[in-house]
Structure 1
């Protein structure tokens, strides 16, 4: 959209910004900076603050019981944030919920999101992407605890989101060796995906399919990492819109705000001179469509 206004969140530059989430109950945005071990929040009054986690935190989602659930360096954790407004960089209390047996040395969790029923999903990756190890797995956390691996053979798990009715699950692999987005049939009663098929191949477009979100029309918004843009695909997998961004490496996006019409996008520092000003920024924009409220984690 010509002339689309992009607002930069002041005072924030993340090395690896990731996992934006809208907490409707708190009227606040959360996101993380993975290597900085930092959780950020932007409230409805426009105030930002941060908390320091004891290890790398890759993805977060609000919990219905309060606090957050997070995929971190050594497992999935319940997270409680120190609440005093007098502390600019508060502390984080974490409680281990589960550690996969497959989470070996050099690995961590990566992208994560809740399904429409409040189950939390996140996958793992080998942190040295240059090694090209497809040993990442996808897991579910629900009333039964942490699942066994549900999808295997992933280089860099990303792109989790669900269709408006919850019956289609999306998953991507953003590694240069893959660049694929898959769709699955999704059993909303059991939380079991099936019938995996290619939904979009970014080798046919631009960039690598990093984090993503589905809007109220059922369209899938993918952060095209390295290409500096958002790509929106229809439920049939047809590219119907591109929004160029001021940074090279958008990492994840989600809708929020009281009307669910604001899109927040995190980014990663690229190290390239042309990206020095905006790389790592977190931005807000109004693309003219409405999003869907993510369910808080119910467990």
Structure 2
């Protein structure tokens, strides 16, 4: 699929904060706090931006953290190096961490990467090799729930699991693989009663497009927004897989986007500084922009 469409330019005059993340990821909006959170994987850091005051806070984690999702019992559920954790972020800067589960068998040198909850509140996240230069599809996608614990691998043979999202009605699941050897986005029919995806098919093959598919978000129209890493773009696909919009962002390596704000009409985009020119003020930046559409709220983990 090759598009001749002219990308939108939504001007962002400065990074939202002066924070420069090595590998910024997993932005989320917590409505009850009116705050944004995101992580820096390699720096083992969780960041918080107050949506009203602009105040920034940070917490240091004991190991690399790939993703966060709100937990209904307060705090967050997170995919980290050694498993899935329940995290409570304390006002003194400390973290209370409880490991909930870990894969029964996992290769050495793996970590959890992208993750979020389905519409019923089950947490999903996938594993990947920490050393991305090793071209081995050793990653798996897992489901975790309070009732059933962690599943056996649901999807296997993934290089760099990414792009998890669910349609507004929860009946379609999206998944991507960012590795240059893959660069695919898939859709699945999703059994909402049992949390089982089936009928896997290619949604978009991004090898024919600019950038690699990274993290994603969903809007109220059921359109799928995904960061095109290495291309400095955010792409919007209709439910039929048609590219209908592109937004230029000032960072070459955007990683994941998330809708938030009081009206869910603001998009936070995280990015990577690692490997980029040190003088580039946008590399590793986290930005906020308004794309003119409303996003679909993320579901908290059903704790």
Is the contact made by 2:8 and 2:247 (CA closer than 8 Å) also made in structure 1? no
Say if 1:3 and 1:276 are closer, same or farther in 2 by CA, change over 3 A: closer
TM-superposed deviation, 1:274: 8.5
User: How does 1:191-210 map onto structure 2 within 5 Å?
Assistant: 191-210=195-214
Residue aligned with 1:130, SS: coil
Partner in structure 1 of residue 78 of structure 2: 70
User: Would you say 1:163 and 2:167 are equivalent positions?
Assistant: yes
Over residues 222-254 of structure 1, what are the superposed CA-to-partner deviations in whole Å (9 max), with x where a residue is unaligned?
100011110111100011111111111000011
Partner in structure 1 of residue 105 of structure 2: 102
User: How does 1:35-184 map onto structure 2 within 5 Å?
Assistant: 35-44=42-51, 45-84=53-92, 90-142=93-145, 143-184=147-188
Residue aligned with 1:203, SS: helix
Is the contact made by 2:230 and 2:252 (CA closer than 8 Å) also made in structure 1? yes
Partner in structure 1 of residue 217 of structure 2: 213
Partner in structure 2 of residue 18 of structure 1: 25
Say if 1:64 and 1:125 are closer, same or farther in 2 by CA, change over 3 A: same
The partner residue of 1:28 within 1, 12, 35 is 35
How many residue pairs get matched?
A: 294
CA distance in 2, matches of 1:5, 1:48: 23
Say if 1:81 and 1:184 are closer, same or farther in 2 by CA, change over 3 A: same
Unpaired segments ≥5 residues, structure 1: 85-89
Residue aligned with 1:166, SS: coil
Is the contact made by 1:233 and 1:240 (CA closer than 8 Å) also made in structure 2? yes
Is the contact made by 1:247 and 1:275 (CA closer than 8 Å) also made in structure 2? no
TM-superposed deviation, 1:2: 5.1
TM-score (norm: length of structure 1): 0.95
TM-superposed deviation, 1:104: 2.0
CA distance in 2, matches of 1:248, 1:101: 37
Is the contact made by 2:8 and 2:246 (CA closer than 8 Å) also made in structure 1? no
CA distance in 1, matches of 2:174, 2:120: 15
Partner in structure 2 of residue 87 of structure 1: none
User: How does 1:250-261 map onto structure 2 within 5 Å?
Assistant: 250-261=254-265
Unpaired segments ≥5 residues, structure 2: 1-6
Residue aligned with 2:284, SS: coil
TM-score (norm: length of structure 2): 0.94
The partner residue of 2:266 within 252, 262, 266 is 262
Is the contact made by 2:257 and 2:269 (CA closer than 8 Å) also made in structure 1? yes
Residue aligned with 1:218, SS: coil
Is the contact made by 2:9 and 2:247 (CA closer than 8 Å) also made in structure 1? no
TM-superposed deviation, 1:269: 1.1
CA distance in 2, matches of 1:71, 1:275: 32
TM-superposed deviation, 1:32: 0.3
TM-superposed deviation, 1:26: 1.6
Residue aligned with 2:133, SS: helix
Residue aligned with 1:108, SS: strand
